C-alpha cells in the first residue's frame, strides 16, 4: 500500500472519507450512485464494470459482483468478459457494453461512426450517457484504488 493507514482503520473508508473528505465523500457518493440509480440491465452493467476492472487490474473490483435483489451474474461471467468478442454467453447489448468499456478506457479517440451506429441501434441516448458515466466512475476509482494499493488490502463487504 502506498498510503499510510492508521491502525484499526479500513483502507478505502479512510482514504475516501477521512483523508480528503470534501473530495472523497463526493467521489464515494458518485460511485454509489452508479449502483443505486442505474437503469441498465445487470448483465450489460457487469460486462462493462468487469471489463474496466480487468483493464485497471483492480483486485477488489475483479472480485466484486453487483447484487440486485439477490441476483448476480453467473460464476463464469468474468471469463465471458475476457472473451467478449467471441463468447456465446452475451447478447448484443452485453457485448457492446464490454466493447464500449474497453474502447472508452483504451481508445476513446477511436470511437467512430460505425461503433456509434451499433450503439445507438441497441441503446437509447439516456442509456449511453448512463453507461458512459458509469464507465468513467469505474475507470477513475478502480485506478485510484489500484494505484494507491488499496485493492490489495480491501475485504469485500458481506451483505
How large is the greatest C-alpha to C-alpha distance in the chain, in angstroms? 52
pLDDT for residue 58: 85
pLDDT for residue 158: 38
pLDDT for residue 159: 33
pLDDT for residue 104: 98
The set of cell numbers assigned to 119 is 450503439
Residue 73 near residue 23, CB atoms below 8 Å: no
pLDDT for residue 60: 82
pLDDT for residue 125: 98
- Residue 94, CA distances (Å) to 6, 8, 21, 29, 47 in order: 41, 40, 36, 26, 6
One digit per residue, pLDDT tens: the chain, 159 residues?
789 999 999 888 899 889 999 999 999 999 999 999 999 999 999 999 999 999 998 888 899 899 999 999 999 999 999 999 999 999 999 999 999 999 999 999 999 999 999 999 999 999 999 999 999 999 999 899 889 988 876 544 433
Instruction: Give this prediction's pTM.
Output: 0.91
- Residue 47, CA distances (Å) to 15, 43, 65, 143 in order: 27, 6, 11, 17
pLDDT for residue 23: 95
Assign 3-class secondary structure to 100-142. Answer: HHHHHHHCHHHCCHHHHHHHHHHCCHHHHHHHHHHHHHHHHHH
Compute and round to an integer the Cα radius of gyration of the chain.
Answer: 16
Residue 120: CB partners within 8 Å, gap ≥ 6? 128
Amino acid at each position: 500500500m502506498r498510503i499510510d493507514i492508521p491502525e484499526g482503520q479500513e483502507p478505502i473508508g479512510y482514504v475516501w472519507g477521512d483523508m480528503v473528505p470534501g473530495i472523497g465523500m463526493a467521489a464515494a457518493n458518485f460511485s454509489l450512485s452508479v449502483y443505486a440509480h442505474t437503469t441498465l440491465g445487470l448483465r450489460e452493467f457487469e460486462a462493462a464494470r468487469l471489463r474496466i476492472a480487468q483493464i485497471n487490474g483492480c483486485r477488489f473490483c475483479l472480485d466484486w459482483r453487483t447484487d440486485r435483489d439477490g441476483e448476480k451474474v453467473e460464476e463464469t461471467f468474468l471469463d465471458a468478459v475476457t472473451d467478449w468478442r467471441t463468447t456465446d454467453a452475451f447478447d448484443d447489448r452485453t457485448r457492446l457494453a464490454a466493447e464500449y468499456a474497453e474502447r472508452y478506457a483504451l481508445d476513446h479517440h477511436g470511437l467512430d461512426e460505425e461503433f456509434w451506429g451499433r450503439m445507438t441501434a441497441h441503446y437509447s441516448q439516456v442509456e449511453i450517457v448512463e453507461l458512459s458515466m458509469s464507465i468513467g466512475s469505474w475507470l477513475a476509482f478502480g485506478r485510484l484504488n489500484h494505484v494507491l494499493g488499496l485493492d490489495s488490502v480491501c475485504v469485500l463487504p458481506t451483505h
